């Protein structure tokens, strides 16, 4: 009798544990389903986790390690996407999966006409031309750094070296994280390199607001060492890169917008408005911002309108409107909102901020809660006037007092130049680059890239 009572007690406890877990599982599943439906933001433009349902065990390790919190969830016993727009490419979920059921990739890459088709070696369909960083659709500093390193490692493995001092082993276009990583890796491998940068060192990071925090994630910077923190200030990174350029005597030319890339004298000829350089290989580390995207509205050419924020401290006791819903826009709004006497509003065309990182979401919500920033969702800027702005909102046309406008709606990547040059982009027919041998006069006779 005593044995029956013991077994019965154990069975009851086990049943309670099972029922508790079942109820907890179903409760969490309802939450995740609601979060997925609430996000409902369409397909992401950048990288995001892709789950193989056949391999997924449903252990949930990917969900627990995601730094953004709500990219993945558990639905019907499998990992599932809740809000892929929030993914910024940490890759922690893929690393945590014990069976390799998750990979980080881009949605319908073969159909994307804004991302070059690349081989596994990051090479385009034109032999000798490689892509590193955001231009390939992958964001975050640590991905750019790793991409720049890999491109040069592939070039070094070709064993093709220049014996002509006027011809570099590699021309690197862009001096952001990917381009500088490529240049430093070239030094490691004894390759001669020339950097061409349209603006100044730092790429798109240079355009961030003063003292803005940049998400880096732990990464090994060539010829520097390990960056262990998840975030660094803009100033720290720019100083690090400036020091690296001086210390390793990198050959860099600033304010060189590339106009043409062709083939001449058995080498690539890269032309800007006021110089021409030659190289055996080219690394395109251009980023995706290109030139700032404009709204093409009345009054946009006024001096009060800007497309980046260098120092929020320059603006005090002003009526300010920030336009945009990405990380750059919300960071600018928050920093401006902290300045003395500013009245800051942020206009976004959707009902909430969908694409920003988790930390920025927490910070902007706090700024909104204490009244430093006023959000105007589901709105569009229609006109900029000398002392006001006109917006279209859910309540109708609204005119607001205004002293300064910051338009931060992304940039236009240099797709036109690359297509005119002959680089293949995604389409329905060609899913991989067509490539045969290393460049030479017979294979690359000179389609020129031209930018107006």
128-155: pLDDT as tens digits:
999 888 777 777 777 888 889 999 999 9
DSSP 451: -
Residue 221 has pLDDT above 90, yes or no: no
Which two structure tokens, joined as six digits, stand for 224? 């520097």
Question: Please, is 317 exposed, middle or buried when counting C-beta atoms within 10 Å of its C-beta (0-12, 13-18, 19+)?
Answer: exposed
User: pTM of the entire structure?
Assistant: 0.71
Higher pLDDT, 43 or 351: 351
Residue 212 has pLDDT above 60, yes or no: yes
With vertex at residue 259, the alpha carbon angle to CA 179 and CA 177, rounded to the nearest 5 degrees, is: 10
Element (H, E) at 393: strand 388-393
Residue 324 has pLDDT above 90, yes or no: yes
The pLDDT score that the predictor gives to residue 430 is: 47
Name all domains of the chain by residue range, CATH numbers in brackets. Answer: 2-107 (3.30.70.20), 111-290+413-421 (3.50.50.60), 295-411 (3.50.50.60)
Question: CB atoms < 10 A from the CB of 406, how many?
Answer: 24
Residue 23 has pLDDT above 60, yes or no: no
Confidence of residue 437 (pLDDT cuts 50, 70, 90): very low
Confidence of residue 436 (pLDDT cuts 50, 70, 90): very low
Mean pLDDT of 276-286: 91
The pLDDT score that the predictor gives to residue 435 is: 41
Q: Is 401 in contact with 395 (CB distance < 8 Å)? A: no
Confidence of residue 442 (pLDDT cuts 50, 70, 90): very low
The pLDDT score that the predictor gives to residue 201 is: 80
How far is CA 296 from each of CA 204, 292, 300, 301, rounded to the nearest angstrom?
22, 12, 7, 9
Distance CA 162, CA 166 (A): 9
Mean pLDDT of 220-230: 82
Residue 303 has pLDDT above 90, yes or no: yes
Q: What percent of the chain lies above the pLDDT cut of 90?
A: 31
Phi-psi region of 178 (alpha: psi -120 to 50; beta: other; left: phi over 0): alpha
The pLDDT score that the predictor gives to residue 433 is: 46
Q: What is the pLDDT of residues 65-120, one digit of tens each?
A: 887 777 888 877 777 877 777 777 667 787 888 878 787 766 666 667 677 888 87
Which two structure tokens, joined as six digits, stand for 90? 């940490």
Mean pLDDT of 321-339: 93
Confidence of residue 438 (pLDDT cuts 50, 70, 90): very low
Mean pLDDT of 157-182: 89
Higher pLDDT, 58 or 6: 58
Q: What is the pLDDT of residues 361-371, one digit of tens each?
A: 899 999 999 99
Confidence of residue 447 (pLDDT cuts 50, 70, 90): very low
> Average pLDDT, whole number, for the chain?
80
Q: Is 179 in contact with 234 (CB distance < 8 Å)? A: no
The pLDDT score that the predictor gives to residue 171 is: 95
The pLDDT score that the predictor gives to residue 305 is: 96
Q: What is the pLDDT of residues 372-407, one digit of tens each?
A: 999 999 999 999 999 999 999 999 999 999 999 999
Which two structure tokens, joined as six digits, stand for 189? 């491998």
Distance CA 181, CA 192 (A): 14
The pLDDT score that the predictor gives to residue 121 is: 82
Residue 432 has pLDDT above 50, yes or no: no
The pLDDT score that the predictor gives to residue 169 is: 93
Mean pLDDT of 150-168: 89
DSSP 123: B
């Amino acid at each position: 009798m005593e044995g029956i009572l013991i077994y019965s007690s154990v069975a009851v406890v086990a049943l309670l544990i099972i029922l508790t877990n079942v109820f907890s599982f179903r409760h969490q599943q309802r939450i995740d389903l609601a979060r997925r439906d609430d996000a409902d933001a369409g397909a992401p433009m950048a990288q995001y986790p892709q789950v193989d349902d056949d391999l997924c065990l449903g252990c949930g390790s990917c969900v627990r390690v995601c730094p953004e919190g709500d990219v993945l969830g558990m639905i019907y016993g499998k990992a599932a996407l809740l809000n892929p727009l929030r993914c910024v490419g940490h890759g922690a979920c893929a690393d945590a999966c014990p069976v390799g059921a998750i990979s980080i990739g881009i949605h319908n890459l073969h159909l994307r006409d804004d991302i070059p088709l690349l081989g596994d070696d990051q090479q385009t369909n034109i032999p000798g031309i490689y892509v590193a960083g955001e231009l390939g659709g992958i964001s975050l500093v640590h991905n750019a750094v790793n991409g720049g390193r890999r491109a040069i490692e592939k070039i070094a493995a070709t064993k093709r070296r220049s014996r002509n001092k006027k011809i570099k082993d590699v021309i690197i276009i862009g001096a952001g994280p990917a381009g500088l990583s490529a240049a430093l890796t070239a030094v490691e491998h004894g390759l001669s390199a020339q950097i061409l940068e349209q603006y100044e060192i730092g790429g798109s990071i240079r355009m961030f607001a003063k003292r803005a925090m940049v998400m880096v994630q732990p990464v090994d910077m060539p010829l520097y060492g390990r960056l262990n923190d998840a975030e660094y200030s803009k100033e720290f990174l720019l100083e690090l890169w400036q020091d690296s350029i001086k210390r390793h005597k990198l050959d860099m030319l600033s304010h060189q917008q590339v106009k043409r890339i062709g083939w001449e004298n058995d080498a690539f000829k890269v032309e800007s408005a006021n110089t021409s350089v030659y190289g055996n290989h080219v690394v395109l580390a251009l980023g995706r911002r290109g030139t700032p995207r404009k709204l093409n509205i009345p009054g946009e050419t006024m001096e009060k309108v800007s497309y980046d924020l260098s120092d929020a401290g320059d603006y005090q006791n002003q009526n300010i409107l920030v336009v945009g819903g990405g990380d750059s826009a919300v960071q600018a709004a928050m920093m401006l909102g902290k300045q003395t006497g500013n009245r800051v509003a942020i206009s976004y065309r959707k009902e909430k901020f969908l694409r920003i990182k988790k930390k920025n979401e927490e910070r902007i919500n706090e700024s909104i809660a204490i009244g430093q920033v006023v959000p105007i969702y589901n709105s569009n800027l229609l006109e900029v006037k000398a002392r006001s702005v006109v917006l279209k909102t859910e309540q109708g046309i609204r005119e607001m007092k205004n002293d300064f406008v910051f338009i931060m709606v992304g940039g236009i990547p240099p797709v036109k130049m690359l297509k005119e040059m002959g680089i293949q982009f995604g389409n329905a027919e060609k899913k991989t680059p067509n490539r045969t041998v290393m460049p030479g006069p017979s294979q690359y006779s000179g389609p020129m890239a031209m930018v107006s």
